[in-house]
């Protein structure tokens, strides 16, 4: 009897085709997951259409209580979900647990959020106000680096605002999402949520379907372009959270002893597979060797291994394609610069990449131009600050960036010259559910989290009433 099934309405649905999900630390099969086709998408849409009229008119308090109950449900089974997440995603167990805790915090933030009415004019003669109406059926498409947090960034505001949701996890990390999907379906009215796992076959059908009002997509910039095109025929509402190539700018007054460990953590977290990880570091001449030595020492001390082992700091990268791509990028770095690598397990199985610092590499190298999405960090030397800023800002990406200095005011002034959706000062990768997150340029369109993230799931409607009789 297959264990993992699609979530369609309240039903657990099996499929003819099933797909092996591998543990990236061992390459052993964790389990098999269903592969949804267009017929399953149609069934999920039919269930959502049945649910939508009552759900979209339910009270805000009802929806808030249900969102809280999802958080309660995840918390009640956090240990088994964390173990499942580690086995399919690869991240250390403590970080899988943290991802689930953050998911609950996101749910709880949205469960207390409001949908205020905005009044433009209110007098004896008229009342003109704007309300936020749900859009309808929303597709939530998610990548494999943070399968649950990134889904909750979409699911919580979509439910709060009265939309139905069809979620699609990445093909290499569907299992925890299916488990949580069944939990959600057991709590919500039938049809409000469906979860369709696929083998990368369903994206175009979802994003072009006329019954989908909005696509909330997190993934690579290349796929984001396809989603943009695919939604054009029906002018779909889109939120695109795409790739990043975040620069960190070290100023000449930075204290390397405090900065180096933070740079290392914000570059290597989740084995570098974070959209807003630090992906290139600009360092003044005088600090270049000092930072390089400190980062290389941290790379050497890092323990890479199976995420199920409590001693592991960094798990494997998540899938074979990413592993091969990173090996190619490192080979390119070796011909164009110097690679200072830590240690990875010698095991013939598992997608392990040692944390690596790349120095003396030119700006036109692949590791600088492309998003590496792995534990490989290039250090780029600069002499003049203006030149460093120009080089930082010349990327097609503009997700996050950071400036590091012992003078906060100076750093904040310089931060405002960086072109990105978020710029941090003396920190990086700091997110909070109440603070909107968005990409500039080809890192995205629209925002997630905060009020802006709620508005993305609504149609603003102006209600214009004459109070002088009809
Ligand atoms: P990806 O673009 O390959 O896949 C993302 C999702 O899109 C998967 O579920 C995939 O099955 C689906 N998909 C594939 N083809 C599709 C199509 N034609 N139409 C619709 N959906 C389709 O990305 P990935 O490799 O899984 O994830 C890594 C990328 O995600 C990185 O670039 C990373 O920076 C980005 N990311 C961005 C954010 C952010 O908030 N900006 C957060 C996390 C990850």
Q: Give, in degrees to the nearest 5, the angle at Cα 430 between 428 and 432.
A: 160
Using the mean position of ligand 1's atoms as its centre, give its distance from the Cα of residue 400 in Å.
17
Q: Give, in degrees to the nearest 5, the angle at Cα 295 between 293 and 299.
A: 115
Active site residue 241: yes
Closest CA to 17 of 33, 28, 1, 29: 33
Atom of ligand 1 nearest to the CA of 444: 41
**From CA 296, how far away is CA 359, in angstroms rounded?**
10
Burial class for 394, CB neighbours closer than 10 Å (0-12, 13-18, 19+): exposed
Rounded to two decimals, the pTM is 0.97
Q: Whose CA is nearest to atom 26 of ligand 1?
A: 143
Question: What residues are in contact with ligand 1 under a 6 Å CB criterion?
Answer: 141-145, 150, 168, 170-171, 200, 203-204, 207, 218-220, 223, 226-227, 241-244, 275, 371, 373, 399, 439, 444
Of the candidates 33, 104, 184, 275, the residue annotated as catalytic is: 275
Asked whether 231 and 384 are in contact (CB, 8 A), the reply is no
Q: Over the chain (470 residues), what is each successive 10-residue block's mean pLDDT?
A: 86 97 98 98 98 98 98 98 98 98 98 96 98 98 98 98 98 98 98 98 98 98 98 97 98 98 98 98 98 98 98 98 98 98 94 98 98 98 98 98 98 98 98 98 98 98 93
H or E stretch including 104?
helix 93-111
Active site residue 184: no
**From CA 401, how far away is CA 246, in angstroms rounded?**
5
Of 219, 236, 271, the one to substitute when testing ligand 1's pocket (max ligand atoms within 8 A of C-beta) is 219
The pLDDT, as a whole number, for residue 2 is 55
The pLDDT, as a whole number, for residue 3 is 86
Asked whether 88 and 25 are in contact (CB, 8 A), the reply is no
Of the candidates 179, 241, 448, 456, the residue annotated as catalytic is: 241
Q: Whose CA is nearest to atom 17 of ligand 1?
A: 203
Using the mean position of ligand 1's atoms as its centre, give its distance from the Cα of residue 131 in Å.
32
**From CA 304, how far away is CA 301, in angstroms rounded?**
10
**From CA 457, how far away is CA 446, in angstroms rounded?**
11
Using the mean position of ligand 1's atoms as its centre, give its distance from the Cα of residue 220 in Å.
4
The pLDDT, as a whole number, for residue 339 is 98
H or E stretch including 373?
none
Of 220, 230, 238, 267, the one to substitute when testing ligand 1's pocket (max ligand atoms within 8 A of C-beta) is 220
Query: CA distances (Å), 361 to each of 209, 285, 381, 395, in order?
Result: 45, 14, 9, 16
């Amino acid at each position: 009897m297959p264990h993992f099934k699609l979530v369609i309405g309240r039903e657990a649905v099996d499929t003819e085709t099933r797909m092996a999900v591998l543990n990236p630390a061992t390459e052993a099969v964790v389990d098999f997951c269903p592969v949804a086709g267009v017929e399953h998408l149609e069934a999920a849409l039919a269930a959502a259409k049945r649910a939508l009229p009552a759900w979209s008119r339910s009270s805000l308090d009802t929806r808030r209580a249900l969102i809280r109950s999802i958080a309660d449900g995840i918390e009640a089974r956090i240990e088994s979900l964390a173990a499942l997440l580690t086995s399919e995603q690869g991240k250390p167990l403590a970080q899988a647990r943290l991802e689930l805790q953050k998911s609950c915090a996101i749910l709880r933030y949205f469960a207390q959020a409001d949908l205020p009415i905005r009044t433009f004019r209110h007098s004896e003669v008229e009342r003109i106000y704007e309300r936020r109406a749900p859009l309808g059926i929303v597709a939530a498409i998610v990548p494999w680096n943070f399968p649950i947090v990134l889904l909750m960034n979409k699911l919580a505001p979509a439910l709060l605002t009265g939309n139905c949701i069809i979620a699609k996890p990445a093909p290499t990390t569907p299992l925890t999402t299916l488990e949580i999907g069944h939990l959600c379906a057991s709590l919500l009215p039938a049809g409000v949520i469906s979860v369709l796992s696929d083998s990368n076959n369903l994206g175009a059908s979802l994003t072009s379907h006329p019954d989908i009002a909005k696509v909330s997509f997190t993934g690579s910039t290349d796929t984001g372009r396809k989603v943009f095109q695919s939604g054009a025929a029906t002018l779909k509402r889109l939120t695109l959270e795409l790739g990043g190539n975040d620069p960190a700018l070290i100023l000449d007054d930075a204290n390397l002893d405090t900065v180096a460990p933070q740079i290392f953590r914000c570059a290597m977290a989740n084995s570098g597979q974070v959209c807003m990880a630090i992906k290139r570091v600009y360092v003044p001449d005088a600090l270049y060797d000092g930072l390089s030595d400190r980062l290389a020492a941290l790379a050497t001390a890092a323990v890479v291994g199976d995420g199920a082992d409590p001693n592991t700091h960094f798990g494997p990268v998540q899938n074979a394609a990413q592993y091969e791509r990173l090996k190619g990028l490192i080979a390119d770095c070796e011909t164009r610069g110097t690679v200072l690598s830590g240690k990875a397990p010698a095991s013939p199985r598992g997608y392990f990449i040692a944390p690596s610092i790349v120095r003396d590499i030119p700006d036109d190298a692949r590791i600088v131009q492309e998003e590496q999405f792995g534990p490989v960090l290039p250090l780029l030397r600069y002499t003049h600050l203006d030149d460093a800023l120009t080089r930082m800002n010349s990327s097609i990406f503009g997700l996050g960036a950071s400036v590091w200095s012992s003078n906060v005011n100076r750093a904040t002034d310089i931060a405002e010259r960086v072109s990105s959706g978020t710029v941090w000062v003396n920190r990086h990768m700091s997110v909070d559910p109440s603070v909107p997150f968005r990409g500039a340029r080809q890192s995205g369109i629209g925002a997630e989290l905060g009020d802006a993230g709620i508005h993305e799931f609504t149609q603003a409607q102006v209600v214009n009433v004459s109070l002088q009789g009809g």
